[in-house]
Amino acid sequence: MLALLCARCSSPDRPNPVDVSDTRPEVPERAPEKGAAYTPADCFIPPPPGYAADCGWVTVPEAPDSERDIQLAVMVLYSSSEVPNDPVVYLEGGPGGSGLSVVATEPFVFEHILSQRDLVLIDQRGTGYSDPWLVCPEDIEATVEEALESLRTCRETWQGRGVDLGQYNTRQNASDIERVRAALGYAEWNVYGISYGSRLALTVLRDYPEHVRALMIDGVLPLQADLLASATPSSAASLQAVNAGCQEQADCAAAYADIIGKLFESVDRLDAEPAPLDLGGSEPF
């Protein structure tokens, strides 16, 4: 499953880009002129029916003052309004989620935005359809030691191919977002981030405030939070709060009793007798 570092390479988990030029509305004349960093391409995922779209790559440096470039997959969906308001750029969470993959939802979750504004979708560096796509092999049956060794091997593989993994961070990610804005020809836009995307959005606002009209953040991960260190205690605190709230309500306490105890009982039971789970096929993102 480990992806090869090659321009626009495909794999079983990443379908080939599709030419949808004959099935989508024409791009409106009002669309801003793209910059030299933008290269048009077939769409990586078919855009929602009925909307004009531009798909392509934005070339950015992997590191400041670096001669090595990477490519970001982008999709611009044009509003159905003849005179739309300032556009929205959507920043996916994870970190590691594909921003472009939201077009596959049915119904399309951002249709309300397109009634008034253009919508820009980006696969952040190292993710989705961007190049490189920094994936590692995954074995759900591996032990902790085996999984760690697999990750070490994966890291060494990407480094051996010349990838500077230290540059795949939020500061450089924010720089990418600003370069995408400039390449797409927008003077300013509204930045919408969820989960990790909220941290990225806050970083964009911090570093490039002159081009941010408004900021929308959901499931906020603030800049001062340590995601890896806080994830487990935060989850435990949330579970304890739910359990305490349940105990304070007679009906809930009668129905569920000790929620935490039942959780651990279920975990022990599944450890002893794992239950098969059919996901109906696998999706890369």
Name the residue range of residue 209's domain.
Answer: 1-225
Q: Are residues 99 and 199 in the same domain?
A: yes
CA angle, residues 149, 152, 153, in degrees to nearest 5:
90
Q: Are residues 44 and 14 in the same domain?
A: yes
Q: Are residues 162 and 252 in the same domain?
A: no
Q: pLDDT, tens digit, for every residue of 120-174?
A: 999 999 999 999 999 988 777 788 899 999 999 999 999 999 999 999 999 999 9
Contact assessment for residue 96 and residue 127, using Cβ atoms and an 8 Å cutoff: yes
Is residue 231 situated within a structural domain? Answer: yes
Q: Are residues 130 and 203 in the same domain?
A: yes
Q: Are residues 254 and 179 in the same domain?
A: no
pLDDT exceeds cutoff 80 at 197: yes
**What is the total residue count of the chain?**
285
Q: Are residues 211 and 236 in the same domain?
A: no
Is residue 10 situated within a structural domain? Answer: yes
What's at 2, amino acid-wise? L
Structure tokens at 27: 């791009």
Instruction: Please report how the helices 227-247 and 259-272 are oriented relative to each other, as an axis angle in degrees rounded to 10.
Output: 120
Q: Looking at residue 221, what is its pLDDT?
A: 87
Is residue 277 situated within a structural domain? Answer: no
- Boundary (domain end) residue, out of 203, 225, 247: 225
Q: Are residues 142 and 186 in the same domain?
A: yes
Q: pLDDT, tens digit, for every residue of 59-69?
A: 999 999 888 99
On whether the pTM is more than 0.85, the answer is no
Report the domain count for the chain: 2
Q: Give 21's pLDDT tier (boundaries 50, 70, 90).
A: low
Q: Are residues 261 and 132 in the same domain?
A: no
Q: Are residues 236 and 216 in the same domain?
A: no
Q: Are residues 122 and 246 in the same domain?
A: no
Per-residue b or e along 120-149, where b marks 16 or more CB atoms closer than 10 Å to that residue's CB? bbbbbbbbbbbbbbbbbeeeeeeeeeebee
Distances (CA, A) of 241 to 220, 264, 270: 19, 16, 24
Q: Are residues 118 and 26 in the same domain?
A: yes
Q: Which CATH number does the domain housing residue 112 bear?
A: 3.40.50.12270
